[in-house]
Structures are given as structure tokens and as C-alpha cells.
Amino acid sequence: MPPPIPGGRIRLRTLVFIRWIAVIGQVIALLVVQLGLDFTVPLMPAALAIAASGLLNLFASIGHRGTVWLDDHRAGLYLAFDLVQLAVLLGITGGLNNPFVVLLLAPVVVSAATLAGWVTALLVGVAVTCVTALGLWALPLPWRETGFLLPDIYRAGIWIALVIAVCFLALYVSSLAKESRQMADALAATQMALAREQRLSALGALAAAAAHELGSPLATIAVVAREIERELSPDLPADSPLRSDVGILREETARCRDILTELGRRPDEEARELGDPLNRIPVSALVEAAAAPFLREGIDFQIRLSPAGEASDEPLVPRLPEAVHGLGTLIQNALQFARTRAEAEVSWDEARLTLRLTDDGPGFDEAVLGALGDPYVSTGRRGRSSDFGVGRQSEKHMGLGVFIAQTLLERTGAKLSFGNLPTVQGGRGAEVVAVWSRAHFEAWT
């Protein structure tokens, strides 16, 4: 996963810019009420409150040049100041009677969207304290007629509404922001996994190309070494060091040629066994290629073909990196948690291609079964350590591996579902089913 931004997740420049907008808006509102509407406003206290916000902005702008990322603690202090400053300004202009009291929600929402949960919780406490203080004490609302007051029960309703709004918005926005960050991290991990699989897929072709390119220079070196040995043979004694050096040169050249021949032969053998990656391979060969790195002793892994009815021969599918890595992740999980065996059943008909992966392990936790596929949701499986999850907690594993596998396979057109088998020898057994449209998957280029 990509590392977090050094120093924090919010820029000082952003907070300064937003605060300048707030200062300009407060000045305009003050002038409109005082001059445009001819209301009596305590200008000096209001001007001091606005000036305090402007001075803080000047200090932050002058004292911190360039791009500065604030940590959660410092960003929380800036937002807490904005809350208190706005509460003071509202307190001298009507308190809860002032319709602009809803602006107290803004700093809390900003914190919920960008900062840690504990900072947002503290700001919620500050906001509730400010709202309560405004309900208990505030100067009268500026008005032409004197004595404008809302009933106490109405102001109590405003207080309750603001407290509920502060708590609800903080919880709602922070939950959405957390899910968004988790999804972004999980997608980045998926892209890294796909890039790694693509590099591995290209490694065989690179080895073959290197063998082909280096073959000609090595052949030339071998020919020159033989010519040198032949020219020196009549004049050098049998025990001459130079004759020995020429022999070593020929032997090492032959060894290099054998190594390059082997490198060039291995991609050809893999292509014959699994099919050319640029063409089509049987779906069972695709499953074999995905499972090969994770097979281990003690666990029997079987691939069973089950054509439906009068279906045609085994489908030929592209050897896509997405499919290899996605299936490999699911197979790795089955093999890691299986007690004695795991099975991949491939079935097909004229319209669909289905892969059913089962094992005799403990199965998935029913409590999280419906949430599998979301990043950082525990799979609820207990057993040996596994790379299937990232950031595992004790024996439970997080569901980033499920998310990566599902995301990659969905790119090939697959639909995944997760479930548990009936009780099998004391264990439930897990079941993962992937279904493709044959027309879509076989036509992939």
C-alpha cells in the first residue's frame, strides 16, 4: 500500500484559504447588517473577533513558507480556534437566535473528512460546549425593534438540533471518509499486485529475448577461441599456461551457451504446457498455472472438469495476469486453511463458465460472510498464517486479499460469491464460486 503523506493529510495552505473566505464573509455580513439593514451591531467586539482570525492567518502564512502538511494535532488546534472564534462572534450577535449558528458545523465536518477519529471527537466536544454556551449566554440579536427574543422552548429545540447535527455529521462523514481511504489503499494494493503479475508474465519473454541476443556474440567468441587454439597448437608445449587459458575460455563459452539455451527453452516448454500467453489455453491449465506457486505437501489439490450436458470441448481462455493472480489468491487461501484437501471444479455449458473452489477447512465466519469483498473486513477464518489477508489481527485475517482477487477477476468479467459447505469432518469448509460469460471471457484480447 502507498505510504501516508508525510506530516499529515491536510495542508496548512488549505486551512488558511478557507479561513480567509470565512473572514471576508464575516466582514461582509457585518457591514450589510450594520450599514445595509441599519441594525445596531457591537462593532468593536465583532471587529476584534474577526481580526483575531485574520491575524492567525497572517501568522500562519508568514511563519510557514511553501507546502506544509499538518499533523492531526496541529490541524485540530486550527479548527478548534475557528470554532471558538465563530462562537464568540455569534455570542455578541444573538447566539442561538442568529441563523448563522449552523456554521459551527463546518470545522467538525472538515475534521471528520480528513483527520483522525480522536481529533474529530474532541472537536465535537468543543462544538457542543460552544453551542451550550451560546444557549446560556449571548447578547441580543441585532434588530430594529427592541426586545426580539425567541421563546426558550424554541431555542432549546435549536440547541438540541445543533448537538444532534454535530454528532451525526461527524459520525457520518468520518465513516464515509474512512471507507473512502480504505478503498483507495485497497485499489492501490490491487494495482501493485497486477503490476507484479504482469512483470512475472513478461519475464519468460525477456529471458528468451536475452538468450537470442547473446547467442550470436557467444558463438563468435567460441569460433575465435578455437582459431586461437589451432594457431597456437604447433608452437606451444602441452603444459603451457596459455594453452590452458584458451581451453578454459572455450569451456566457459560453451557453458554460457548452455545456460542461454536453457533460458530460451524454458519459456518454450511453459508455452507448450500452458499455451502461449498471447493465445488461448484450456481453463484447467489456467487453474494449474495459478495454483502452482502455492501447492504444498500434505494438502491434496485436485482439478475436476464437469461439462454440462452436451457442452463442447473444454473452453480455451486467455492467460490474463488478472485471472492468474486473482485465482492464485483464492487458491492460496483454500490451501492455507484446508485440513487435507482442496478442489477446483470447472464446469461449463454453452453460455457460462463456472469455477467452484472448495476446501475442508474451517470455512468463513457467518458474521462477516455477507461483507466479504470489502477491503479490511476480517475473513473470520482461523488457521495457519496466510498472505490472503493484509494487516491480520491475532489469528483472524483481514480481507484485503479477497478484495484484490475479486477486483482482478471482475476485470475479466467474473462474478464471485462466497459461502460455506455443510459440515465436513468437524469443519464447515469454504466455497468460492466464480462465474464468467463464455462469450465475453473467450473473446478477451
pLDDT at 112 over 80: yes
pLDDT of residue 385: 40
Q: What is the average pLDDT across 213-238?
A: 72
For the chain, how many structural domains are there in total?
Answer: 3
Are residues 48 and 131 located together in one domain of the fold?
yes
State yes or no: pLDDT of 8 exceeds 80.
Answer: no
Binned at pLDDT 50, 70 and 90, residue 376 comes out as low
pLDDT at position 1, please?
Answer: 40
Final residue in a domain of this structure, among 246, 276, 306: 276
Domain presence at residue 41: yes
Residues 405 and 287 in one domain: yes
Rg (CA), the chain: 35
Distance between CA atoms of 229 and 257, rounded to whole angstroms?
Answer: 19
327 domain residue, yes or no:
yes
- Verify that 356 and 414 share a domain, yes or no: yes
* Band (272; pLDDT cuts 50, 70, 90): very low
Query: What predicted TM-score, i.e. pTM, was given to this entire model?
Result: 0.50
Domain end, chosen from 218, 247, 276, is at 276
- What is the tens place of the pLDDT at every residue in 23-43? 888 888 888 887 877 777 788
Higher pLDDT residue, 211 or 266?
211
- Among 11-20, 50-59, 203-212, 413-422, which is the least confidently predicted range? 203-212
Predicted local distance difference test score (pLDDT) of residue 383? 46
In sign, the C-alpha dihedral spanning 223, 229, 232, 233 is negative
The 10 Å CB-count burial string (b at 16+, else e) for 249-265 is bbeebeebbeebeebbe
Dump pLDDT digits (tens) for 114-125: 888 888 889 999
CATH number of the domain within which 306 lies: 3.30.565.10
Report, as an integer, the average pLDDT of 180-198: 64
182 lies in some domain: no
- Cβ atoms < 10 Å from Cβ of 30: 19
Cα–Cα distances in angstroms (integers) from residue 194 to residues 200, 320, 325, 408, in the given order: 10, 10, 7, 8
Count Cβ atoms below 10 Å from residue 17 Cβ, excluding itself: 13
Give the strand pairing for 341-348 and 300-307: parallel
Residue 175 lies in a domain: no
What amino acid is encoded at 162 in this protein? Answer: L
63 and 111 co-located in one domain: yes
- One domain, residues 264 and 140: no
Residue 441 has pLDDT above 70, yes or no: yes
Q: How far apart are CA 247 and CA 89, in angstroms?
A: 94
Distances (CA, A) of 391 to 134, 176, 388: 45, 21, 10
- Tens digits of per-residue pLDDT, 300-333? 888 888 887 666 778 888 877 778 888 888 888 8
In a shared domain, residues 232 and 310: no
27 shares its domain with 98: yes
In the predicted model, is pLDDT for residue 386 greater than 80? no
Better-predicted residue by pLDDT, 157 or 404: 157
Residues across the chain: 445
Domain with 370 in it? 281-442
